Structure formats: structure tokens, C-alpha cells
Amino acid sequence: MKVYISLPITGFDIEQVDARCTFAVGVLKTKGHEAVNPLDVCGACGDELDYIGCIANDINALLRCDAVVMLDGWENSKGCQLERSAAQIYGLQVFDSLDKVPENAAMWHVLEKEVCDEKQIRANTIAF
């Protein structure tokens, strides 16, 4: 599942925001999902965009996802509230925290198959 990360950015130390995003990306990848980091979305635009341009790009990226995860503090952020509303209007799944995002069952099937294939290869290998 492709999951957009929504968290407050405006008014916060960008290094702390980046650390929160990096952590969220790691958790989502561990659970077998593709993460969309809003800092990457707007960072790709350089300094050319103002707040309105960035939030427009964020909403565009969000609507190309299957779900959004809301990180702590989203309730106090107009941008996060807008992202949540857009996700709800367009029928995306909304998770209120990283721990509410389920593991990707399809991913576990792939991992189990890889482990089984590796065991089969070892079993069929002739020791010299």
C-alpha cells in the first residue's frame, strides 16, 4: 500500500520534522508499504514554491496514495487537517498513528516464499 505521511511542518524545526519523517518512512517500509514523505514532495520543487504551492503538491501526492497516516500534532495543523479531509473525501484509508497501519499481508507472503525457496535450494544442494 502506498501511504502518505501527514505531520505538522510549519513552525517546527525542519531537522526535527525530517527526523520524524525518516522514522515514519522506516516504520512503513518495515511493515511492507511504500511511504510518501511530504518533505520529498516539496523538496523536489526547490525554493520555487510558497506554502500554497507546497500544500497543493502535497495534496496531489496524497491523492495518488492508498492511505494517509496522521502523525502526532496533526489536529493543530491546517495543512494536516486539509490532507485528512481530502483523504476522507476521496475514500483513502486514514490511520491516526503509525501503530494503526497494518502490516502488508502480501509482503509477508513474498518473504515467506523467499525463505521457503532458500530452504529448498539448500536441501537440493549437494555437499562436496
Q: Please give the pLDDT value at position 107.
A: 56
Sign of CA dihedral 18, 23, 26, 28: negative
In angstroms, the CA 42 to CA 120 distance is 46
Distance CA 121, CA 33 (A): 28
The per-residue pLDDT for 29 is: 96
At residue 128, the pLDDT reads 40
Report the pLDDT value the prediction gives residue 57, as an integer from 0 to 100: 92
SS3 content of the chain, % helix, strand, coil (to 5): 55, 10, 30
For 8, phi then psi, to 5°, come to -65, 135
Indicate the helix (H) or strand (E) that contains 47: none
Give me the pLDDT at residue 27, please.
Answer: 96
The single-letter DSSP state of residue 74 is: G
Residue position matching grid coordinates 487537517: 81
Distance from C-alpha of 44 to C-alpha of 20, rounded to nearest angstrom: 19
Distance CA 124, CA 102 (A): 36
Instruction: Report the pLDDT value the prediction gives residue 42, as an integer from 0 to 100.
Output: 80
pLDDT along the chain (128 residues), means of 10: 95 92 96 95 66 90 97 95 97 96 71 52 48
Grid coordinates standing for 36? 510518501
Q: What is the pLDDT of residue 106?
A: 64
Q: pLDDT digit string (tens) for 11-35? A: 898 899 999 999 999 999 999 999 9
pLDDT of amino acid 127: 47
Strand 34-36 versus strand 2-6 pairing type: parallel
